[in-house]
Amino acid sequence: MTDAFSAAAEPTRRRILQLLAASPRTVNEIAAEFTSTRSAISQHLLLLAAVGLVEAEKVGRNRIYRVQPDGLRRLQAEIDRFWTHELDLLVADAHTLAASRPTSHSATDKDSR
């Protein structure tokens, strides 16, 4: 697991990143948002730190984790590189198709979201 894309894709880590983006937190504060143990969350945090998506600041006996903006920018670059021109065109096609065929299954599917 060396790339930020794969690291950020895991559902638990996605939530962690969103929590930390809202505001930096300690490990216990983060773990309080989940049902699994603090150890599990700590390991997720260490992984996120290993790929440079978060960083920790030790203050007293606490470790305050925060998102690392530069790592986040790398993640965005990875996603952008994946989201090639062709993919973009296909999505655009999906939009126009959904607009022109409002009664198709894709349109109802869109409503349910």
Q: What's the CA gap between 109 and 113, in Å, rounded? A: 7
Tell me: does residue 21 bind a copy of itself (CB under 8 A). yes
Tell me: does residue 77 bind a copy of itself (CB under 8 A). yes
Residue type, 12: T
Tell me: does residue 76 bind a copy of itself (CB under 8 A). yes
Contact map string, positions 19 to 58, toward DNA, x by CB under 7 A: -------xxxx-----xxxxxx-xxxxxx--------x--
Kindly give, in sequence order, each residue whose CB lies less than 8 Å from that of residue 28, ignoring residues fewer than 6 positions away: 38
CB closer to DNA, 24 vs 107: 24
Tell me: does residue 39 bind a copy of itself (CB under 8 A). no
CA 75 remoteness from chain centre: 9
Tell me: does residue 10 bind a copy of itself (CB under 8 A). yes
